[in-house]
Amino acid sequence: MTGSRAATRARIEADIIRIGRRQLAEVGAAALSLREVARELGMVSSAVYRYVESRDDLLTQLIIAAYDSLGEAAEAASERASDAGDLSRWVAVGDAIRTWALERPHEYLLLYGTPVPGYAAPDDTVSPGTRVSLALVGVVHDAARAGRLDDVAPFVSPVPAALAHDLGELSRLIDVDDDPARLAAVLFGWTQLFGHLSFELTSQTRGMVGDHGEFFRHAVTSSGRAIGLR
Amino acid sequence: MTGSRAATRARIEADIIRIGRRQLAEVGAAALSLREVARELGMVSSAVYRYVESRDDLLTQLIIAAYDSLGEAAEAASERASDAGDLSRWVAVGDAIRTWALERPHEYLLLYGTPVPGYAAPDDTVSPGTRVSLALVGVVHDAARAGRLDDVAPFVSPVPAALAHDLGELSRLIDVDDDPARLAAVLFGWTQLFGHLSFELTSQTRGMVGDHGEFFRHAVTSSGRAIGLR
DNA sequence: TGTACATCAGTGAACGCGCGTTCACTGATGTAC
DNA sequence: TGTACATCAGTGAACGCGCGTTCACTGATGTAC
């Protein structure tokens, strides 16, 4: 009476992810426990092995789910702000990332923090991870295609030759502008954004910064300006 | 015949820190184990309680030791480069921080990564943590006092009023220049530096950046220029 | 200089905990004819 | 539509692991007189 076997299975699989995320939120990735998942599912511990291959398998699924959720949040913000100026749009995406992170710090740290001891992320994990970055870069891409970019800030020049060469990958994503200084500025903005978040989430800035939202927004605005967004 | 009681005790206390750091290096903070420390010490597990109050106590000592070691490395680099230009000196300190981090990634992540589950860092931990930051800021401080600062890059302006107000703490450290834009630029450089390192250590940049050293050095150079160092 | 006592270092056994994973099993749900 | 068989979901017991921490103890090192 609980529906067809396939439907029940799908429901339970979704439940497991949901419970896993809740556990992540409460105790963090290192303390994620299959036995606890089973308990919350109302099953005996061995039963969850019908749904999940191992603890590492569950972690992988959770990482993918988290990347997707974050990527979606970023993309949605980008779309919502597609009529605003490029700089506001850049900030909007950054803000969405921050909001997502603050709502689930442990999930953020699962993606961008210390690797979980004894766990090696498989390759399935890489492609969902690029979604956020693509959302950010997409803003620059659109601005470049529309010819709305100001000059890149002079302080990133000159870009050392070896580095300029390395920027090829990113150049394919932005697609229009392949000025190495611009590419470097985008990369800097990107690392700075996540650097800020990691600092905020691990309280490194305690005592130094009062209003983290204001600080973050200003940092992202500044990096956007340096890139040449307006 | 192993020396006076006090000397033996001092030696074993130092051994414990040394073993703890090695364990950190090999398995990370989450897997740090008092029983394993005892084993390597050639003692029975309960014996280490003569030297250490608890696992958390050992973690705290290790954190303090790591902060001190990192702070020392940064200060030494700053001193070594005190005759170079301000910008080179800034980069030298950044490079020293990176070198330290790459040599002991787990220790770096203990300080700047995901908080260890179930462990709350006590206050003894805060003051040694500021040493690195002071070394970095000191470079700007010296340049400011000597009147060798260029204009701060325009892209950080205008600084929102609420944020400008928050920067008071940092202003006391830099001491000479209290232009909010400059303070913001320093703060950005600081978070960007650690953001880069965290990305590098957790392999977030894989595929995107080839030569991380080059990338890092350019990023730090750029942030230094933005601050107005030359 | 020698003795009596106090402090300290290290032992060994134990408590209680939670974990991931395997395995043989029962009973229910689905499928083929 | 009914029956025979195969698949699947969940059970319960068990294995083996390592952990932090406590406690009563023995024997060695230091201290006071």
B155 touches chain A (CB under 8 A): yes
Query: What is the DSSP code (8-state) at residue A77?
Result: H
In chain A, residues with a C-beta closer than 8 Å to the C-beta of B194 are 195, 198-199, 204
| CA of B53, C1' of C2: distance in angstroms | 38
- Express each pLDDT in A5-52 by its tens digit: 899 999 999 999 999 999 999 999 999 999 999 999 999 999 999 999
Which of A192, A207, A218 is facing B160, going by the closest CB pair? A218
In chain B, residues with a C-beta closer than 8 Å to the C-beta of A27 are 117
Q: Give alpha helix (H) positions in B28-83.
A: 34-41, 55-80
- Express each pLDDT in B90-130 by its tens digit: 999 999 999 999 999 999 999 999 988 889 889 999 999 99
Most B CBs within 10 A among A110, A218, A229, A230, hence the mutation to make, goes to: A218
- Tokens in use for B164? 């400008």
pTM above 0.85, yes or no: yes
From the list A55, A155, A69, the residue with the least C-alpha distance to A108 is A69
- Tokens in use for B72? 């020392």
Which of B117, B163, B194 is facing A31, going by the closest CB pair? B117
Query: What is the DSSP code (8-state) at residue B142?
Result: H
**How large a percentage of chain B has pLDDT more than 90?**
82
CB A82 within 8 A of CB A146: no
Q: Nearest C-alpha of chain B: how many angstroms from A2?
A: 38
CB atoms closer than 10 angstroms to residue B154: 15
Most A CBs within 10 A among B104, B114, B171, hence the mutation to make, goes to: B114
In chain B, residues with a C-beta closer than 8 Å to the C-beta of A117 are 27-28, 30-31
**Is the shortest CB-to-strand distance from A32 to strand C under 7 Å?**
yes
CB B33 within 8 A of CB A120: no
Q: Nearest C-alpha of chain A: how many angstroms from B41?
A: 24
pLDDT of chain A along its 230 residues, tens only?
446 889 999 999 999 999 999 999 999 999 999 999 999 999 999 999 999 999 999 999 999 999 999 999 999 999 999 999 999 999 999 999 999 999 999 999 999 999 888 898 899 999 999 999 999 999 999 999 999 999 999 999 999 998 998 888 778 878 777 789 999 999 999 999 999 999 999 988 877 888 999 999 999 999 999 999 99
3-state secondary structure (DSSP) of residue A40: helix
- CB proximity under 8 Å: A 33-92 to B: none
Q: Nearest C-alpha of chain A: how many angstroms from B188?
A: 7
- Tokens in use for A126? 């890489």
Distance CA A186, CA B14 (A): 46
**Whats the size of chain A, residue-wise?**
230
CB B219 within 8 A of CB B97: no
Most A CBs within 10 A among B170, B173, B188, B202, hence the mutation to make, goes to: B188
**Is the shortest CB-to-strand distance from A125 to strand C under 7 Å?**
no
B25 touches chain A (CB under 8 A): no
3-state secondary structure (DSSP) of residue B212: helix
